[in-house]
Amino acid sequence: MTDVSQSPSAAAAPAITIRGVTQRFGDAGSSQSVLALDNVSLEVARGEFVCLLGPSGCGKSTLLNIVGGLIRPSQGEVTVSGRRVDGAPRPDEIAFVFQESTLFPWYTVIENFRIALKFQRVPKAEWDDRAMAALRAVGMAGFSGHYPNQLSVGMRQRVNMARGICVKTGILLMDEPFAALDEQTRMVLGEDLSILLAETGKTIVFVTHSLAEAVFLSDRIVVMTARPGSIKTIIDVGEPHPRSPDFMLEPRFGELRNELYALLRDEIRKTMASQRDPAAARGGA
């Protein structure tokens, strides 16, 4: 385990720095106020894969959206590459991959890539080469002319992942991108993502509820408490990328998964108790 506020590479400037971030929705005195995050601090090193893991409603997605500039925190600050995130998206530095497909249904796969690359001001001459290279990396090059509704859910997520990798951002934020997929497809996409991380060196922050997924993908796993979300501890996985499925057969994989379950069990019970007593979930409101 590591200090909750420091990355393993303290000497290098972090890609993402989160300092004292608190997020409350609604006025503090209101009966409807919800304290989602409470004083979260974290550093993410360049090229690092960090998973946010915690019970439902603990603020994982909220924290991801704050880092991406989609939400302005109530308190604290986030910096990306040394520049403060001021509540506005940073498409030149940060790309998102969400659980739901964000492909435009009226455009083909390759046309969706062209739109994303045009938005990032990538020279037009590079569009198709970059798109096809990313699609080949996830085994989807043969479907570049298909429309999203002609693809399965798993295929669309492969395309979403490839699009996030292909754009010129150093940071990729992924919010449960494999949650709607069957276990076998999740495992294959996890392997693809580990390979892409090794090849591109992107910094990835990944929200998941899956213990096995967190262990297989992460360099570090940030374990969060029940709402209001804070960092309970951070676990180092210590396995290089790309990762082989054989890693899941090693004793360390099972030990880490069991450790995560032990850490989260009480937090999940707290979440269940708060659902029976909604007033308790408002963080003192």
Q: Tell me which of 1-10, 135-144, 166-175, 192-201 is least confident.
A: 1-10
For the chain, the structural domain boundaries read 1-88+203-285
Please tell me which of 160-169, 177-186, 214-223 the model is most confident about, judged by mean pLDDT. Answer: 214-223
Query: Domain 1-88+203-285 adopts which CATH fold?
Result: Rossmann fold (3.40.50)
Mean pLDDT calculated for residue range 83-100: 80
Mean pLDDT calculated for residue range 118-123: 80
Q: 6 falls in which pLDDT band (50, 70, 90)?
A: very low
Task: List C-alpha distances in Å: 282 to 32, 36, 268.
Answer: 7, 8, 16
Q: 2 falls in which pLDDT band (50, 70, 90)?
A: very low
**Single pTM value for the model:** 0.85
Q: 11 falls in which pLDDT band (50, 70, 90)?
A: very low
Give residue 149's pLDDT. Answer: 93
Q: 157 falls in which pLDDT band (50, 70, 90)?
A: confident
Per-residue pLDDT reduced to its tens digit, 213-231? 999 999 999 999 999 999 9
Which is more confidently placed, 105 or 198? 105
Per-residue pLDDT reduced to its tens digit, 235-260? 999 999 888 889 999 999 999 999 99
